[in-house]
Structure 1
Amino acid sequence: MRNALAELFGVELPVLAAPMAGGPSTPGFVAAVSAAGGLGFLAAGYQPPAVVAAEIDRVRATGRPFGVNVFAPSPVPVGTAEFRRYARTIAPEGAAYGLDLSAAEPVEDDDHWAAKLDLLTRHPVPVLSFTFGLPDRASVTALRSAGTRVLQTVTSVPEAVAAAEVGVDGLLVQGAEAGAHYGTFTPRALPPAAPLPDLVRAVRAAAGLPVVAAGGIADAAGVRAVLAAGAVGAMVGTVLLRTGESGASQVHKDALADPARAGTIVTRAFTGRPARALRNAFTDRYDGAAPLGYPAVHHLTRPLRRAAAAAGDPERLHLWAGTGYRAARAAPVAEVLAALASG
């Protein structure tokens, strides 16, 4: 296992930090993970290419291995009438911050896909992972030829086989317990949930590629379980959100520690794509009303979520969290990673 980790990533600690878009995975956070002997990933999702380039430069200057995660286009279009119905439904939430959500128009984009691929091909990074969809074989070949290890997030055996066919170096196998967005290629029909070790075994058998396991891993026992199933490493996210180096908002950190929180829910209320979050007033009110529609719903609610974060309002904020969120603690990244790898 250690030989595979060293060959793939240039690290020995069998714990990787998940890319967490929207704030948590800052350059400082990624550098702290790498300094502790693990592998951290910058989250290029939602970021303009110039910002991604600047963050890469900051982490590259440390001289340590790191990765970058990119959202591959996998649009889930939403009809204009359905979009406007939902915008009107949630409009009272925006009114509290002077936002007229009912006037929003649907925005469909590809998150600067071509520009990010161009950047990462011309200025290669050590490790690059893709989520939501597959890059084409030519792009994977170009990235690998430039010296980058290419990984693909998958949530099922069919996705793993498809990823192997485009020539990636390894797979990030995401289980149903993971926080934030499901990386599935088919958000309209989520794959059947399976215990993460079982999914790891099935994917390894079908695809024949090195596997990193993610989803609900919150302690050393969870790490041991996926390594015993054949993964070369475990990827964690939620358990690192409360660390001092995490860029998560204070309101998010506080919510993770709030004993009154009633667990997690898989919802499309915030972005139009299934994602696991702590339950709050927004998910309780609107989960049943939210349409599938990514990225249009994401762009609709983004101003509201930014305003809520600035105001310290956890009830209108996307509190992404995996099922192991109660294990998240306020401690240095290095301490948390060492505890996870202690088995």
Structure 2
Amino acid sequence: MTLFDGTTLPLVAAPMAGGATTPALVTAAARAGALGFLAAGYRTPEDLAAQIAAVRGVPFGVNVFAPNPVPVDPAAFRRYAASLAPDAAALGLGLAGAAPVEDDDHWAAKTDLLLADPVPVVSFTFGLPPATLVAALRRAGTVVAQTVTNRAEARAAAELGVDVLVVQSFAAGAHSGTLTPSVAIPEVPLPDLIAGVRAAVSLPLVAAGGLGTAADVASVLTAGASAAMIGTALLRAPESGASAPHKAALADPSRTETVLTRAFTGRPARGLRNGFIERHDAEAPAGYPAIHHLTAPLRRAAAAAGDADRLHLWAGTGYRHATERPVATILAGLAP
């Protein structure tokens, strides 16, 4: 028996915001027997509605960034913008006059859409949704999941009435789902994290973070997870929307380390070490989403220019297992 209706494998294709997750990737994962997740993050409600329409008919979920703002200090924002000026200039951009943008990623419009046009699964990351929203989604027939990174978060999410917990370790690529982004993320191995959360709550668990081999998947299932979430291992697949320089960097033998940094978004996220991180990690202020909006034009320009030195190269610790194969082939190789 699998965790999600319509699936045959205990595998979930992670929602990777910013373009890496595409309807093609979600559909391929579902047809392979896994659950695919659309990433609502950074998309307009109209774009999200179009993507939902594109994957109707297969098992899928939608991941939403729940507001958990970290307001940036205005003076720190100005100093950081000034420090980024040489990188921006190298890409033909200017940051003079940049001001903090503190938005909620169309929270109300996206949740209204998911209530009006229900989907099989909705997961939340970064913050906890209101209990009233959880109840409304469940009444609409939607399974509700919440990303957590420790036992305290797991207990808080369980009290809201969610159905499933996505338990994410420090090894995960891209943003950490921590509810306290100003607190250092403990380096607890994922099987141990799963066992600890399993002892604290009785909800089904999906394990996430650094999973790149069948042995990795088996270890978290043995520890008590009902399914394993796969992200970075899918980034080089043809169905992935990751940029060409991002895909190339994942296969570059000279890139030997991933690090947690807030240099790109003001919130801890794991990526391959590059020049941007080396130049700016120590001075990057906390501040999400303001720092994300500040660096977004720079990152788009870097991707277009093939400049991996200034690009966010999100990757989990298992990035060496990312291969240029179809999603179905990758998932088949990870299945227990």
**TM-score tier after normalising by the smaller chain length:** over 0.9
Calculate the TM-score normalised by the size of structure 1: 0.97
Equivalent residue in structure 2 for 1:97, among 72, 91, 95 = 91
Q: Distance in 2 between matches of 1:197 and 1:236?
A: 15
The equivalent residue for 2:75 is 81
- Deviates most, 86-95 or 183-192: 183-192
**Equivalent position amino acid for 1:303 in 2:** P
SS in 1 for 2:96: helix
SS in 2 for 1:101: coil
SS in 2 for 1:102: coil
Equivalent residue in structure 2 for 1:33, among 29, 32, 35 = 29
The equivalent residue for 1:305 is 299
Q: Is residue 188 of structure 1 aligned with residue 182 of structure 2?
A: yes
**Equivalent position amino acid for 1:153 in 2:** T
Q: How do 1:224-243 residues align onto structure 2 when only pairs under 5 Å count? A: 224-243=218-237
Q: Is residue 115 of structure 1 aligned with residue 112 of structure 2?
A: no
The Cα shift of 1:331 comes to 0.5
SS in 1 for 2:312: coil
Given that 1:242 and 1:331 are in contact with CA atoms closer than 8 Å, whether structure 2 keeps it comes out as yes
Equivalent residue in structure 1 for 2:151, among 157, 165, 170 = 157
Q: Distance in 2 between matches of 1:103 and 1:281?
A: 25
**Equivalent position amino acid for 1:261 in 2:** R
**Equivalent position amino acid for 1:266 in 2:** L
Equivalent residue in structure 2 for 1:252, among 221, 234, 246 = 246
Q: Distance in 2 between matches of 1:17 and 1:187?
A: 24
Given that 1:265 and 1:279 are in contact with CA atoms closer than 8 Å, whether structure 2 keeps it comes out as yes
**Equivalent position amino acid for 1:38 in 2:** A
Given that 1:132 and 1:185 are in contact with CA atoms closer than 8 Å, whether structure 2 keeps it comes out as yes
Equivalent residue in structure 2 for 1:22, among 11, 18, 26 = 18
The equivalent residue for 2:167 is 173
Count of residues in Structure 1 that have an aligned counterpart in Structure 2 = 336
The Cα shift of 1:286 comes to 0.5
Q: Distance in 2 between matches of 1:134 and 1:199?
A: 20
The Cα shift of 1:101 comes to 1.5
Q: Is residue 263 of structure 1 aligned with residue 250 of structure 2?
A: no
The Cα shift of 1:244 comes to 1.0
Given that 1:156 and 1:191 are in contact with CA atoms closer than 8 Å, whether structure 2 keeps it comes out as no
Q: Distance in 2 between matches of 1:315 and 1:284?
A: 10
Q: How do 1:126-145 residues align onto structure 2 when only pairs under 5 Å count? A: 126-145=120-139
The Cα shift of 1:262 comes to 2.7
Given that 1:84 and 1:102 are in contact with CA atoms closer than 8 Å, whether structure 2 keeps it comes out as no
State the Cα deviation string for residues 159-186 of structure 1 (Å, max 9, x = none). 0000000000010000110000000000
Equivalent residue in structure 1 for 2:39, among 20, 39, 43 = 43
State the Cα deviation string for residues 189-247 of structure 1 (Å, max 9, x = none). 03422111111111122121000000000000000000001101000100000011111
- Deviates most, 192-201 or 224-233: 192-201
Given that 1:150 and 1:170 are in contact with CA atoms closer than 8 Å, whether structure 2 keeps it comes out as yes
The Cα shift of 1:100 comes to 1.2
**Equivalent position amino acid for 1:171 in 2:** L
The Cα shift of 1:13 comes to 0.5
Compute the RMSD of aligned alpha carbons: 0.8
Matched residues, percent identical?
A: 65
The equivalent residue for 1:57 is 53
Q: Is residue 289 of structure 1 aligned with residue 295 of structure 2?
A: no
Q: Distance in 2 between matches of 1:14 and 1:267?
A: 30
Runs of 4+ residues over 3 Å off in structure 1: none
The equivalent residue for 2:211 is 217
SS in 2 for 1:88: helix
Q: Distance in 2 between matches of 1:277 and 1:237?
A: 13
**Equivalent position amino acid for 1:20 in 2:** M
State the Cα deviation string for residues 51-92 of structure 1 (Å, max 9, x = none). 1001000111xx111010000000001111110000000111
Given that 1:184 and 1:190 are in contact with CA atoms closer than 8 Å, whether structure 2 keeps it comes out as no
SS in 1 for 2:166: strand
The Cα shift of 1:15 comes to 1.2
Q: Distance in 2 between matches of 1:270 and 1:192?
A: 21
The Cα shift of 1:325 comes to 0.3
